[in-house]
């Protein structure tokens, strides 16, 4: 059993959290009782009782046969509450609109969470509208513009990675620590990160850490298809996004009385 700040963890609570995270990761792919019990190393009877409790409270849903399980609607309600209750997200949203109007490209805001970034807000390109929102989705921090912008705000020995190969998303993703560190060094020199098809083939991104925290935990980015990324358009993206970042950081200085969420 792990401990946090000297407090011994509650085994049943930890098991429920791990189960919910597993179901959330699987998204549209439902899971069976035996699969979940085996993957979490829990007796089948205990897993069944846990699932039934979470179904009753709306955190897990099941099909008509009662044999398949997925994440429940309560997870959405809680996630929405997180977004609505975060002052920084609320205040950044209008600037995402401003960037979107100025560039006509896809604009994101994300937050570092361990070795990943989590999308908090998105404004889609005027040229192409996705039918599925990216809000709430996770991406390895080393693989994209948002994550690299935030990793570069930390010293190399403070990065949340162990030795070994990093997750590969495309043929351009950094898969070893040395290559990543070399890229982050360039990010620090430029003041922004560049993702050239490292996360999604055919898509480039430019990331900008928001330095109202030290080290920064939030970042914004602009994504654009490489097919229309001319040198002139790239220069304009960087200029506009740097201006937007400056406006946000001016608008969001540390405020007394506001919880310092960690």
The strand pairing partners of 88, in sequence order, are: none
pLDDT at residue 133, rounded to an integer: 53
- Residue range 182-229, pLDDT digits in tens: 999 999 999 999 999 999 999 999 999 999 888 999 999 999 999 999
The strand pairing partners of 220, in sequence order, are: 109, 208
pLDDT at residue 220, rounded to an integer: 97
pLDDT at residue 76, rounded to an integer: 81
pLDDT at residue 9, rounded to an integer: 56
pLDDT at residue 53, rounded to an integer: 92
Cα distance between residue 199 and residue 170, in whole Å: 6
pLDDT at residue 247, rounded to an integer: 95
Strand bridging mode 106-113 / 68-71: unpaired
pLDDT at residue 8, rounded to an integer: 57
pLDDT at residue 131, rounded to an integer: 42
Residues of the chain with pLDDT under 50: 1-3, 7, 131-132, 256
Q: What is the DSSP letter of 206?
A: E
Strand bridging mode 68-71 / 60-62: antiparallel
pLDDT at residue 65, rounded to an integer: 86
Cα distance between residue 86 and residue 146, in whole Å: 19
Q: What is the pTM of this model?
A: 0.78
């Amino acid at each position: 059993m792990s401990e946090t700040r000297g407090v011994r963890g509650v085994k049943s609570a930890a098991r429920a959290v791990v189960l919910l995270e597993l179901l959330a990761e699987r998204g549209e792919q439902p899971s069976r009782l035996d699969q979940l019990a085996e993957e979490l190393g829990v007796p089948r009877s205990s897993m069944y009782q846990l699932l039934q409790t979470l179904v009753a409270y709306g955190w897990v849903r099941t099909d008509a046969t009662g044999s398949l399980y997925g994440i429940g609607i309560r997870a959405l309600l809680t996630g929405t509450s997180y977004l609505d209750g975060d002052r920084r997200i609320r205040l950044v949203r209008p600037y995402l609109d401003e960037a979107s109007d100025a560039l006509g490209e896809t604009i994101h805001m994300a937050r570092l969470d361990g070795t990943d970034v989590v999308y908090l807000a998105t404004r889609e390109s005027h040229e192409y509208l996705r039918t599925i929102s990216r809000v709430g989705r996770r991406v390895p921090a080393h693989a994209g513009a948002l994550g690299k912008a935030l990793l570069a705000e930390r010293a190399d020995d403070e990065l949340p990675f162990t030795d070994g190969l990093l997750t590969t998303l495309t043929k351009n993703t950094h898969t070893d620590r040395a290559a990543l560190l070399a890229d982050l060094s360039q990010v620090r020199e430029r003041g922004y990160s560049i993702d050239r098809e490292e996360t999604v083939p055919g898509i480039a991104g430019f990331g900008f850490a928001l330095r109202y925290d030290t080290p920064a935990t939030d970042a914004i980015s602009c994504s654009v298809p490489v097919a229309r990324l001319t040198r002139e358009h790239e220069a304009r993206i960087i200029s506009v996004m740097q201006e937007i970042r400056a406006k946000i950081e001016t608008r969001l200085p540390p405020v007394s009385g506001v919880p310092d969420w960690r």
